[in-house]
């Protein structure tokens, strides 16, 4: 079993749609959680951290369920520019990050 | 300000040739540094990490090595490249500005021919 699992997609959605990505992690001792975004042929960039109480950044909402070891990302009012691969990331002891395989999103006009 | 630099951006090398990729960090001291590889259409694979000068931990035994000759310099090397070494190589550091997530360099796209 992979330590961080994501549906690889692709998710094909029209502009303006709401789309949700899910992620599960296996290490109950994981300490921090993130969503990264990776554009084609570019480096991954931090999209947002994920906090236990849930957090929002504009059109993006992240939630964490520690009991179920489950992380989600909701994107509202999708834009063409949201097309990318979204990586679920957990941090374990020693500042080591473990990356999921990514979920590809394609937003169509 | 803290920044991370990688070079070159792209590289085409013949099989059997040596490799040296360099990563430097500015504006911080004693960073934890990481080398990742991403094969085409695949996820990130951790290759090496370093918590200080001369300290290298290898995650995957293979045709590559890493060195940290200076506090803010991390080098990835190979004596003889294989076709399977092709990929997107990324250097990263633990960035307190990113809630102790990683900030990546812009990467080196290596094609072994």
* Digit-coded pLDDT (tens) for A17-73: 999 999 999 999 998 999 999 999 999 999 999 998 899 999 999 999 999 999 999
**For residue A2, what pLDDT is reported?**
82
List, as ranges, residues 34-73 from A with C-beta within 8 Å of B. 34, 36, 41-46, 49
How many CB atoms sit inside 10 A of residue B41's CB? 8
pLDDT value at A108 more than 70: yes
B46-52, Cβ contacts within 8 angstroms, sequence gap of 24 or more: B47/B76, B48/B76, B49/A96, B50/B74
Q: Given CB atoms, is B105 within the 8 Å cutoff of chain A?
A: yes
* pLDDT mean over B26-38: 91
Rounded CA separation A55/B14 (Å):
48
Q: Which residues of B touch A8 (CB under 8 A)?
A: none
Average pLDDT, chain B: 92
Q: Is the dihedral of CA A92, A95, A99, A105 positive or negative?
A: positive
**Which residues of B fall within a CB distance of 8 Å from A89?**
101
Q: How confident is the model at residue B61 (pLDDT cuts 50, 70, 90)?
A: low
Q: Give the whole-number percent of chain B exceeding pLDDT 90.
A: 76
User: What's the CA gap between A24 and A13, in Å, rounded?
Assistant: 23
- CA of B61 vs chain A CAs: smallest distance (Å): 18
Euclidean distance between CA atoms A54 and A77, whole angstroms:
19
**B94, B100, B105: residue with CB nearest A43:** B105
Is B34:A92 a contact under the CB 8 Å cutoff? no
> B41 CA to chain A: closest CA distance, Å?
10
Q: Phi/psi of residue B85, each to 5°?
A: -80, -5
Residue A105: the pLDDT is 98
């Amino acid at each position: 079993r992979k330590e961080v699992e994501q549906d690889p997609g692709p998710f094909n959605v029209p502009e303006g749609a709401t789309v949700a990505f899910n992620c599960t992690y296996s290490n109950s001792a994981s300490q921090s959680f993130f969503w990264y975004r990776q554009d084609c042929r570019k480096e991954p960039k931090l999209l947002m951290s994920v906090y236990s109480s849930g957090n929002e950044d504009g059109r993006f909402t992240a939630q964490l369920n520690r009991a179920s070891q489950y992380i989600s990302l909701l994107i509202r009012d999708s834009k063409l520019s949201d097309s990318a691969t979204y990586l679920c990331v957990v941090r374990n002891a020693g500042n080591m990050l473990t990356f999921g395989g990514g979920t590809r999103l394609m937003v169509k006009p | 300000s803290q920044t991370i630099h990688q070079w070159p951006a792209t590289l085409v090398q013949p099989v059997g040739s040596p490799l040296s990729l360099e990563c430097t960090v500015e504006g911080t001291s004693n960073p934890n540094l990481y080398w990742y590889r991403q094969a085409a259409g695949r996820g990130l694979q951790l290759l090496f990490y370093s918590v200080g000068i001369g300290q290298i931990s290898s995650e995957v035994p293979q045709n590559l090595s890493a060195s940290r000759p200076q506090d803010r310099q991390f080098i990835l090397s190979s004596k003889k490249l294989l076709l399977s070494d092709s990929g997107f190589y990324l250097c990263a550091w633990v960035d307190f500005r990113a809630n102790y997530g990683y900030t990546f360099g812009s990467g080196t796209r290596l094609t072994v021919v």
